[in-house]
Amino acid sequence: MKAKIGITGNIITYKRPEEVAAFDANYTPREFSQAVELAGGIPYIIPIMDESLAEEIMSSLDGLILTGGQDVSPLLYNQEPHQAIQETSPQRDTFELALINAAIHQGKAILGICRGLQLLNVRYGGTLYQDLSEDKTAYLQHNQQSLPQFPTHRIQIKDQSSLSPIFGKEITVNSFHHQAIDQLGQGLTVIAQSLDQVIEAVEAPADNVIAVQWHPELTHIHDQHSINLFRNLVERALPKD
């Protein structure tokens, strides 16, 4: 039996030649479905829908990946938007929060990646730096200029965390984010940080939740640690007899 893993989707405007009108398309980066398949699961892409469908959607899945994308709306953590914030998607925020709540309610495994980590922190009552320029201790390049398959900065993993059996004590990761966790949500535990103390991973074992700030889907082909993170999700998602 293979675990069925839902992957949150997004909407992109598909531009055509001048004589053909553009249209909106549902999408998710292909690396996510490839990583799930390689890890032994079956990927299912979830388009943005009405939040009322979240419980029924999750009832047909074993696990959930929250993917990257737009900034999380600061209104969700009771802040006004600062000048450095980028595009937000309230519809996506609302739907994905409903998916998170449904997954936790049903005991399904969750893996958050980049925006997914940030949205999970907000769901647990935390806040975000709307831009890392607001974090006076951050000095590393967290939105790298190198190609995505090349890791660019180190992170340190907490001992006896969910990630330590997968990654050990220290690894080098890629990095494509300008927001990060500020105040940690209640119920989450920090399990990895960069050398400038930006939070790079959190967990909530009671809710079967792990989330990372980097992008393992972009390195899973050539990096054993990255594919092992997806294997961990698949293992956590398999129904326990």
Q: Which residues are catalytic?
A: 114, 215, 217
Could you tell me whether strands 180-181 and 23-27 are parallel, antiparallel, or unpaired per DSSP bridges?
Answer: unpaired
**Cα dihedral 80, 214, 145, 47 sign:** negative
Q: Other CB atoms closer than 10 Å to residue 56's CB: what's the count?
A: 9
Q: Other CB atoms closer than 10 Å to residue 98's CB: what's the count?
A: 19
Question: How far apart are alpha carbons 158 and 201 in whole angstroms?
Answer: 10
Question: How far apart are alpha carbons 178 and 127 in whole angstroms?
Answer: 14
CB 36 within 8 A of CB 232: no
Question: Which two tokens mark 213?
Answer: 């700030």
